[in-house]
Amino acid sequence: MAEKTRIGVLVSGGGTNLQALLDAQGSVIKDGEIVVVISNKAGAYALERAAKSGVDACTVLKKDCGSQAAFETAIKAVLAEYKVDLIVLAGFLSILSAGFTNAYPKRIINVHPSLIPSFCGAGFYGLKVHEAALDYGVKVTGATVHFVNEVPDGGEIILQKAVAIRSTDTPESLQKRVMQQAEWKILPRAVQLVSNQIRKLKEE
């Protein structure tokens, strides 16, 4: 069997989705291993989560790089150093250019807190997604894990899970439930599915 798929996780904040992945290693995620965590925000709590799990982590700041292109080149350098096969965006709040996404076809996945194609695309992130769902009055929302291409939230869907909306929901309560009931469940499963596919390709 080929060596496990080497996973790099890109983060911007607290890292709750990263924690779900770290907790799933060896149980749900059998064919992949997180080898590096990259944050685009200094002091992000996700970096502490990585450290506690013994995973290498670093920070790449756009303002230090001077441009989007230089920022993406710096991230690519870290990914190359760690021989990353699969990139997971776990609450990464920086839009990546087509030049970046095209360099890793079917090798970048993202979790989005709605049932794509609803409440997605440019400008839909974090609480804004849940505010939009409540404002619209939908009865069901959820989360989607998808491949990343040059269109925000536009790549092929890998997994989805629905979550019922309650009449008492606030954006905050809905966000928490979508994370617990959908995001933290399907992101590790999707990572395992893609890791398994990549591992099989390595054997050919």
pLDDT for 2: 83
Predicted confidence (pLDDT) per residue in 37-94, tens digit: 999 999 999 999 999 999 999 999 999 999 999 999 999 999 999 999 999 999 998 8
Those residues with Cβ within 8 angstroms of residue 158's Cβ, 6 or more apart along the chain or in another chain: 109, 145, 146, 147, 190, 193, 194
Q: Answer yes or no: 112 catalytic.
A: yes
Q: Does domain 5-203 have CATH number 3.40.50.170?
A: yes
Pairing of β 157-164 and β 5-11: unpaired
Mean pLDDT on 98-112: 96
The 3-state DSSP composition of the chain as helix, strand, coil percent (nearest 5) reads 40, 25, 35
From the candidates 6, 49, 112, 199, give the one annotated as an active-site residue: 112
Q: How far apart are CA 19 and CA 49, in angstroms?
A: 7
Pairing of β 140-147 and β 157-164: antiparallel
**Cβ-contact 141, 165 below 8 angstroms:** yes
Peptide bond before 117: cis, by omega within 30 degrees of 0? yes
pLDDT for 65: 95
pLDDT for 55: 98
Predicted confidence (pLDDT) per residue in 23-39, tens digit: 999 999 999 999 999 99
Q: How far apart are CA 101 and CA 94, in angstroms?
A: 12
Pairing of β 86-89 and β 56-59: unpaired
Phi and psi angles of residue 158, each rounded to the nearest 5 degrees, phi first: -100, -55
Q: What residue spans define the domains of the chain?
A: 5-203
pLDDT for 170: 97
pLDDT for 93: 87
Phi and psi angles of residue 35, each rounded to the nearest 5 degrees, phi first: -110, -20
